């Protein structure tokens, strides 16, 4: 059985909708990420047997340990979703109570649950009771600056039997640009009996060191800082920064893995999004993006990248 203590002092990959698929998680794991979490999976969609949703739960052995993240606001549906997700053999189940996107919060899901502590507690209890695996929850510090609830939610999570809490150090209103609230994460980390993971604004080894020092969190969670640079996890662990050549080689590997899972047509189109991240700051990036946007095969993409590598 997976134990969150195995992550202590290390950096994990955050769940990221639209970009955090199995191929990306695998190259991050190979680059040093201590664990990963899938893209958000709708518990309600699982209830209705949606095939596209099921595809989000694909996990390679190479990316383990990996959890499946569920979102929803109905305890009974979450419980059913946990049982279905467990059949896909994740290492743990993660509950999303932090997504700030309006189409999620508008339905009462994600960070909207930060305004509903009683309901959030019932969801945690239902998930833990239904799960044969450890359960974690991802939250933000609160709905807005006037309603900081992360310490309360951390205590509640512990009381419900949740094994770990990832705290994004911004409110829902703060989005992804507000200053990170280290003080609130530190308050959560001071709660005994719960493994707290610090998240928010972590793009380098220095950022992660600051998070550890200022909060006392047990582990850190990197999100957008890994896009286009999975080797940031090597850097966080004390290794060298990635060279442009290493990053482009990882881009090719990630694309090959995506082709294996999804087929060339879909994988190549999704690769265009990741190309923007991998090429960020590189000489000739605009021309490479232009050429890459026209290719229809992996072989064509590799030819372009190999030419850029010289």
Write the CB contacts of 203 (distance below 8 Å, at least 6 apart in sequence). 222, 224, 225, 232
239/206 Cα distance (integer angstroms): 12
Using an 8 Å Cβ cutoff, are 17 and 39 in contact?
Answer: yes
Q: Is 201 left (phi over 0), alpha (psi -120 to 50) or beta?
A: left
Longest dimension (CA), the chain: 59
For the record, the structure tokens of 170 come out as 């911004």
Residue among 99, 160, 208, 217 flagged as catalytic: 99
HSE-up of 196 (CA within 13 Å, CB side)? 30
Tell me whether residue 99 is one of the annotated catalytic residues: yes
Strands 219-222, 195-199: pairing is parallel
Q: Which of 66, 65, 21, 69 is nearest to 43 (CA)?
A: 69
For the record, the structure tokens of 87 come out as 């059949």
**Angle of the 285-292 helix axis to the 264-278 helix axis, nearest 10:** 170
CA-to-CA dists, residue 309 to 24, 233, 245, 247, 297, angstroms: 21, 23, 6, 11, 19
Which residues are identified as catalytic? Answer: 99
């Amino acid at each position: 059985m997976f134990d969150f203590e195995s992550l202590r002092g290390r950096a994990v990959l955050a769940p990221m909708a639209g970009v955090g698929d199995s191929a990306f998680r695998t190259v991050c794991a190979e680059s040093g990420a201590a664990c990963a979490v899938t893209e958000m999976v709708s518990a309600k969609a699982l209830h209705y047997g949606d095939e596209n949703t099921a595809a989000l739960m694909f996990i390679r052995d190479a990316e383990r340990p990996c959890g499946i993240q569920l979102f929803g606001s109905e305890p009974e549906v979450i419980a059913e979703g946990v049982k279905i997700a467990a059949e896909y053999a994740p290492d743990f189940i993660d509950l999303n109570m932090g997504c700030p996107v309006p189409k999620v919060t508008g339905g009462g899901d994600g960070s909207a649950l930060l305004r509903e502590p009683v309901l959030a507690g019932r969801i945690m209890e239902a998930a833990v009771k239904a799960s044969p695996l450890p359960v974690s929850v991802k939250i933000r510090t609160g709905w807005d600056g006037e309603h900081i609830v992360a310490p309360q939610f951390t205590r509640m999570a512990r009381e419900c039997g949740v094994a770990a809490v990832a705290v994004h150090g911004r409110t829902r209103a703060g989005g992804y640009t507000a200053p990170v609230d280290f003080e609130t994460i530190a308050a959560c980390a001071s709660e005994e009996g719960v493994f707290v993971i610090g998240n928010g604004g972590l793009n380098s080894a220095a950022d992660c060191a600051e998070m550890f020092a200022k909060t006392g969190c047990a582990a850190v969670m990197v999100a957008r800082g890994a896009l286009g640079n999975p080797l940031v996890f090597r850097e966080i662990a004390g290794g060298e920064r990635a060279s442009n050549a290493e990053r482009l080689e990882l881009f090719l590997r990630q694309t090959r893995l995506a082709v294996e899972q999804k087929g060339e047509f879909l994988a190549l189109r999704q690769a265009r999004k990741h190309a923007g991240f991998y090429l960020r700051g590189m000489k000739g990036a605009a021309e490479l993006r232009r050429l890459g946007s026209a290719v229809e095969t992996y072989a064509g993409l590799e030819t372009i990248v190999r030419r850029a590598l010289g």
